[in-house]
Structure 1
Amino acid sequence: MLRIHFTSEDLARTRIATTADPLWEIALSMYRLTGRRGRSAFAAWRSRTRQELATTGGTATVRRVLAPLFPSTSSYFPDFLTPPDGGLGLEAGVDAVLSTPRRLLRRELDKLAGRTGTPSWAWGLVDGRRDAFHDLRDGLHSYFDTVIAPYWSDIQGMVDADRAVRGRAFLDGGVDCMLAGFRPIMRWEPPVLSMDHAVDRDVHLGGRGLVLIPSHFCWGAPVPLADPSLPQVVVYPIQRDHPPAAPKPGSTVARLLGPTRAAILRAAVEGATTGELARRQGIYASGVSQHTQVLREAGLIVSRRTGAQVIHTITPLGAALLAGATDSRSVGDRLRCGRSAPDVSKDSRPGAVREHRDASP
C-alpha cells in the first residue's frame, strides 16, 4: 500500500496533466502488446497493431530495440524512457530521452541488466555511440507512428473527457471532491491518498504538490514514482468507455454538415452534458443524442457517462476541423507536437526508478 500525505499547500499544487503523454503511452502500450494484463480489453487493438507492424516491417525493430527495454516478464523498465518532457509532445520527449546523462543511463541499464538483461545495443548509449542513439530515436518514432498515432485523437479525446469529469468535480467541491472521485483505483481519506502498491510506503509531499497524469494504456493500479524525494507524479488509468478506433476516412464527415451539429461541436470544446446541449440548442435531449452519435462515430467528440449524466468533449480531430485544418497531414503534425506539458519540475528527470505495477505481466 502506498500512502501519499498532503498539506494544504500540496492540495493547492495538485493538478491533472492536460494531455496524454506519448512516451508513457509508448511504454505502457508495449506491455499491453506483449504482456498478459489487459489482454481481453485491448484484444482488437493488439490484433490490428500486430498486423500493422508486420506490414510496415516494424516487428523486427520492436523485438530488437523496444521489447528488451520494456520486458513483459518484469514490472520494471528504465526511468529515463519516460521523462516529464513527454508532456510537450513526442519530439520534446524523445530529445529528453536522448539527452539523459550517461551516469543515469548506466545506473538504470545496470538495474535492467540485474532484472531481465540489457540488450547489447543499449550499452552504446552509455558509450555515446551514434548508432545506439539512432536506434532508440528511430525505434520510438516508428513505433509511435505505426502503433499509437492512428489512435491519438481518440486517446486524447478520452483523456479530455476524463479531465472534464474531474474538472466538474473540482468545481463542485474543490480538490477534496476531485480526489475522492478516483475511487476505487485510489482512496482519498483527507489528508491521505492511498493506492495499491508493491511496497508498503508513506510519502509526505511537504509542499511539492502532486501531478496526476491520465493514461489510456495504463491498466490496473496507478503508477507512482519510486523515489519519494522527487516531485511526485502518479500515472492513472482513464475510464475506457470504448476502445480506440483507427480513423475511417471520409465515411461520416459529410454527415456533419449543418448548423446544429456544428454548434454542438463548438459547445463540446469546453465539455457539455446532453441536457446542457439540449437547452442551448432548444431541442429535445433525444435529438442531441442523435447528433452526438454522428459526431462520435466520426471521431470528433468523446462521450463519457458520469452518474446520470453524459459529458461530451471534443477530440483533437474535432478541434482541427473547427480550426479549418482539413488536410490530414496538418492534423497529424498537430497531434505529434502535443499541446501543453504537465507542470513537473525538471528535477523529476531520469534517475529515480519507478515501480510500474500497472505494467506487470
Structure 2
Amino acid sequence: MLRIHFTDTDLLNTRVATAPDPHWELVLSLRHLRRRVVPPRYGDWHREVVAQFARLPHPRPPEAYREVAVDPYWEDIRAGVDGDRALRIRALLDGGVHGLLGSYVPTMRWTPPTLHVRSALDRDHELRGRGLLLQPSYFCHGGGHLPEDPDAPPVLVHPAAQPQADPAGDKALARLMGATRAGILIAAGTACTSGELARRVGVSAPTVSHHLSALRDAGLLRTVSHGTSAFHVRTRTGSALVNSSCAFR
C-alpha cells in the first residue's frame, strides 16, 4: 500500500493531467506484453501486437515497439484518458478536491489527509506542499505508480476509469435518435469538451457541433463555460432518456 500524505497546500496544488503520458503508456504496455496472462481488456491488443512483431524483419529496427504497440492505439489511449479526466472534473465540480480524491475507488481510498493507493510497494510519501499530479493511464492496471525518489515531481499514475456500458441500451438509444447523437449523449454523462466528445464517439468536430446544437435545443444537454473551455453535460432529461433506453428494445 502506498500512503500519500497531503497538507492544505498540497490539496490546493493537486490537479489532473490533461493528456496521456507517452513514456508511461510505453512502459506499462510493455509490462503487459511480457506477461503470459494479460487482463481481458488488453487481450485483443496483446494478440495483435504479438502478431505484428512476428512479421517484423530481424534485427528489428530501433524504437519498433512503440510504432507497433503504442502509436496505432493512441486514439484509444487518448479516449480512455479523456474519459477519466471528464469523470474527475465532474467529481471536482460536485465535491471540490475532497470529492475528486474520493472518486478513485477502488484503486485509491481517501481518508484525509492521506490517500491510500494500491501498490506493490509499502511506503509513505510526503508531498511537502508540492501538490500531486494525477495521471490517468490506459495501460495502467490494478494499482498506482509514484516515483520512488522523494525529490522527484510527485506524479501518481493510475488506471483510467473504464466506462460502464450497456450494449443493449446503447443500441436501443441509437435506433431512437441515431448512432452519432446517441453516442454523444451517452458520452456526455460526465462533462466533456467538444474535442473529447469527437474522439470518444469517433466523428469530426463539425459533426459534434451540429449534434450538440440539436441536443441542447431538445433540452437533453447543456453547455457550461469554464475559463477558456466549454464543457458539455447531459441534463436530467437527457440522463433519464439514457437510463431508460433499455425499455425501447
Instruction: Give the TM-score normalised by structure 1.
Output: 0.48
Partner of 1:28: 28
**Structure 1 segment 165-176 matched on structure 2, within 5 A:** 165-176=87-98
Distance in structure 2 (CA, Å) of the matches to 1:320 and 1:289: 13
Partner of 1:211: 133
Q: Are the structure 2 counterparts of residues 241 and 172 from structure 1 closer, same or farther at C-alpha, using a change threshold of 3 Å? A: closer
Distance in structure 2 (CA, Å) of the matches to 1:217 and 1:37: 15
Shift in Å, 1:55: 2.4
**Structure 1 segment 236-315 matched on structure 2, within 5 A:** 236-241=158-163, 287-288=176-177, 290-292=179-181, 309=189, 313-315=196-198
Partner of 1:233: 155
How many residue pairs were aligned? 197
Please provide the CA RMSD for this pair.
3.2
Paired amino acid for 1:153: E
What is the DSSP-based 3-state SS (H/G/I as helix, E as strand, rest coil) of the residue aligned with 1:240? coil
- RCO higher in structure (CA 8 A, sep ≥6): 1
Partner of 1:9: 9
Distance in structure 2 (CA, Å) of the matches to 1:50 and 1:192: 41
Paired amino acid for 1:321: S
Paired amino acid for 1:190: P
Paired amino acid for 1:322: A
Shift in Å, 1:37: 5.5
Q: What is the aligned counterpart of 2:124 among 197, 202, 207?
A: 202
Kept after mapping to 1: 8 A contact 2:87/2:190: no
Q: Are the structure 2 counterparts of residues 175 and 36 from structure 1 closer, same or farther at C-alpha, using a change threshold of 3 Å? A: farther
Task: Flag structure 2 segments of 5+ consecutive residues without an equivalent.
Answer: 165-169, 208-249
Distance in structure 2 (CA, Å) of the matches to 1:161 and 1:2: 25
Kept after mapping to 2: 8 A contact 1:156/1:315: no
Distance in structure 2 (CA, Å) of the matches to 1:152 and 1:319: 13
Deviation per CA, 1:92-126, whole angstroms, max 9, x where unpaired? xxxxxxxxxxxxxxxxxxxxxxxxxxxxxxxxxxx
Distance in structure 2 (CA, Å) of the matches to 1:209 and 1:202: 15
Distance in structure 2 (CA, Å) of the matches to 1:167 and 1:152: 22
Instruction: Give the TM-score normalised by structure 2.
Output: 0.68
Kept after mapping to 2: 8 A contact 1:38/1:219: no
Distance in structure 1 (CA, Å) of the matches to 2:78 and 2:206: 17
Distance in structure 1 (CA, Å) of the matches to 2:105 and 2:187: 17
What is the DSSP-based 3-state SS (H/G/I as helix, E as strand, rest coil) of the residue aligned with 1:224? coil
Partner of 1:253: none
Partner of 1:256: none
What is the DSSP-based 3-state SS (H/G/I as helix, E as strand, rest coil) of the residue aligned with 1:56? coil
Paired amino acid for 1:228: P
Distance in structure 1 (CA, Å) of the matches to 2:25 and 2:15: 19
Task: Flag structure 1 segments of 5+ consecutive residues without an equivalent.
Answer: 62-134, 243-273, 275-283, 325-361
Partner of 2:105: 183
Distance in structure 2 (CA, Å) of the matches to 1:302 and 1:33: 35
Q: Are the structure 2 counterparts of residues 195 and 4 from structure 1 closer, same or farther at C-alpha, using a change threshold of 3 Å? A: same
Distance in structure 2 (CA, Å) of the matches to 1:290 and 1:199: 45
Deviation per CA, 1:171-220, whole angstroms, max 9, x where unpaired? 11111001100011011011110113344322221111111111111111
Kept after mapping to 2: 8 A contact 1:24/1:215: yes
Deviation per CA, 1:264-317, whole angstroms, max 9, x where unpaired? xxxxxxxxxx9xxxxxxxxx9974573346xx6xxxx79669xxx477742559
Partner of 1:164: 86
Partner of 1:132: none
Partner of 1:43: 43
Q: Are the structure 2 counterparts of residues 220 and 304 from structure 1 closer, same or farther at C-alpha, using a change threshold of 3 Å? A: farther
Paired amino acid for 1:197: S
Q: Structure 1 stretch 186-195 or stretch 225-234: which is displaced more?
A: 225-234
Partner of 1:90: none
Q: What is the aligned counterpart of 2:205 among 304, 309, 322?
A: 322
Q: Are the structure 2 counterparts of residues 54 and 36 from structure 1 closer, same or farther at C-alpha, using a change threshold of 3 Å? A: closer
The percent identity for this pair of structures is 37
